[in-house]
Structure 1
Amino acid sequence: MTEPSPASTFARNLPPAGELVVPGAVDTRTAAPVPPPQSYFDPINWHRTALHECLHATGHKTRLNRDQSGSFRSKKYAFEELVAKMSAAFLRII
């Protein structure tokens, strides 16, 4: 029996459409906004986006408390994007 892929395991644990809400989210600042799967040409891209946004949500002050105050093109913003990308790479879903 083959082991399920990380992508299929991730997909089974997510709601099927709309805004993906991170477990423990109490408001929109702790939610991960993800367009519905129908917005993507290839289903794997929805999974990649959902994971990426969930990984950003781990930086919320009630979780890992990363500094997410950076504006677009700032070093803080770039660092947060790198955290999400590298985290996804470690989870083998990129």
Structure 2
Amino acid sequence: MLTKTLSELTNEQQSLLDITKAHLRELTDQFVILIEEAQHQGEVEKSKNAQDLADFIMVQIAGLRTFAKLNTDKSKLGEMIDQLFLNYPFKNN
């Protein structure tokens, strides 16, 4: 919902844009925390930058939302989500 809101707001609604961006940053920050925890547990390679991975996830979520609207096959969507974490940049080199 935040991504949709962000795409629909204009500069004339700057205060709403700022609030939406702040919420998206908070969400990204939570992903960073989760990724760092996963790194400490050995689930994600420690050499990977947690912020970069969190940004990657945020971009993928936006794309997955579009994919889900175009494709009603829930198993295909689940497969796409699984692939997100099995490939670059999460894949160990």
TM superposition score category, shorter chain reference: 0.3 to 0.5
Higher fraction of helix: 2
TM-score by length of 1: 0.34
TM-score by length of 2: 0.34
